[in-house]
Amino acid sequence: MKLTQEQQDMLDGKYGKGTAYAMKIQVAIGESFDAERMVPITRAHVALSNQEADLWFCEKLLSEGAKCRVTPTVNPGFCLEFFKKRDMVAPEFADLMQRTHNAYKAIGAQLTYNCTPYIDTNVPNFKEVIAYSESSATPYANAVWGARTNREGANSALCAAITGYVPEYGLLLDENRKGDILVEVQADVKTPYDYHIIGMLGKKIGDGIPVFTGFPKETITKEALRNLGAQLNTSGAYGMYHIVGFTPEAPDMETAFGGKEPKRKVVLTNEDKEAILKEISLEGNREIDFAMFGCPHFTLEEVKYIAGKLEGKELKKEMWILVSSHVKEMAVRMGFDEIISKAGGFIVPDTCPDQPCWRHLEGKVGITESPKCAYYPQRRGIHFVIRDLDTCIEAALTGEVK
């Protein structure tokens, strides 16, 4: 790659060893993708996992003097105050979360602990070059906002935040952002939950950039788009998608495909939805132990909806609603937190389902509307029935899913 003098100085260690490590990694990534140069970024999001490897990497860079030039937002671990107060997390994992907090604070991250920064805390502009990791963030930033980011890993996104640059390849280039798969949605799509299930059909859609037609415009909400991208990256590996007549780089079919013919056409039906749900969900007609929502984090509108369903009622089973600290604060101010708490539920900020704070749920069966929420905790011995949001709420109220 051709480096500017400043970039070469970073690589040579003139800005410290930590910055040199970050630039060395980025140059290697760029060379592996035949990038010709580095380009500056204006935003970053680091999908820290609150696990030893990511923490080791951050502490290593920090110990060698690295600091973020571009302040990144960060993914959730778990809310230390909430779970320690209730004695729900083992001391070693509480210590790991505290070290993670300390390391990312010291290196200059914004401690948002939120997996949906593209909705309310770190929203990019059209054609803005950014470095986002997080499986729902990358497709949302590219598809919905028309910003430009590759599917960064947590570590490469942190390197970008430290250097202020990314290698120019992939989805940063016009020619690589055109769609190449025509996806006709003939299935019923009425709620954001339907976008979850459509997104889980990545195996049928196949590799490439899908161009969707057939979504009813009145159903295309920020929650629906969040769900679609999150599940496309759970069922496959999609950096972006287009929705004809809706997303900014797909005003019409010709523009979406860059004037070329799609390499294939895929039709998604109700039968496809039924088949994938049967594959990924436990069977219904059973008692459940808890309900969990917010993977990706729920919006204030979704919290308001649940509060409306629970007002004056009492939950039979635990309900956990995971949100950003911003949504939590708004829920408190607007009285939704009080309603849900009185019903027996919890609105929890800064927390992910794939964390050691959920040890009390091991061996239990929950219900969720999110396949991604059901997928990650399986390794912790937690399993789910997947149903639409109304069915999930009803199950938490009655203790069973029909």
Tens of pLDDT, residues 62-83: 999 999 999 999 999 999 999 9
**398 close to 317: Cβ distance less than 8 angstroms:** no
Q: Is it true that the peptide bond before 349 is cis, omega within 30 degrees of 0?
A: no
Q: What is the pLDDT of residues 229-257, one digit of tens each?
A: 999 999 999 999 999 999 999 999 999 99
Average pLDDT over residues 362-383: 96
pLDDT beyond 90 at 262? yes
- 395 — pLDDT class (breaks 50, 70, 90): very high
Specify burial of residue 329 (Cβ count, 10 A radius: 0-12, 13-18, 19+). Answer: middle
pLDDT at 379: 92
What mean pLDDT, rounded, does the chain reach?
Answer: 97
Task: Let me know: does 273 contact 387? Beta carbons within 8 Å.
Answer: no
CATH code for the part of the protein at 5-174: 3.30.499
Tell me what pLDDT residue 28 has: 98
Residue 227 predicted with pLDDT over 90: yes
pLDDT of residue 51: 87
Query: Rounded to whole angstroms, how far apart are CA atoms 310 and 302?
Result: 12
- Stretch 283-292: mean pLDDT, rounded? 97
* Cβ burial, residue 232 (10 Å; 0-12/13-18/19+): buried
Helix (H, G, I), strand (E, B) or coil at 238: coil
Residue 261, burial from CB neighbour count under 10 angstroms (0-12, 13-18, 19+): exposed
Q: Average pLDDT of 281-291?
A: 97
Task: Find the angle CA(336)-CA(337)-CA(338) to the nearest 5 degrees.
Answer: 90
Percent of the chain with pLDDT over 90: 99
Q: Which fold has domain 178-273?
A: Aconitase; Domain 2 (3.40.1060)
Nearest C-alpha neighbor of 76 from the set 152, 141, 136: 136
Q: How confident is the model at residue 402 (pLDDT cuts 50, 70, 90)?
A: confident
Rounded CA separation 27/167 (Å) = 7
Helices (H), 124-248: 137-139, 154-163, 192-199, 202-205, 222-235
Do 5-174 and 178-273 share a fold? no
State yes or no: pLDDT of 49 exceeds 90.
no
pLDDT digits (tens, 9 = 90+) for 200-226: 999 999 999 999 999 999 999 999 999
- DSSP notation for 119-150: HHTSPPPTT-BEEE-STTHHHIIIIIS--B--
Looking at domain 281-401, its CATH architecture is: 2-Layer Sandwich (3.30)
Mean pLDDT (whole number) for 328-333: 98
All structural domains of the chain with their residue ranges: 5-174, 178-273, 281-401
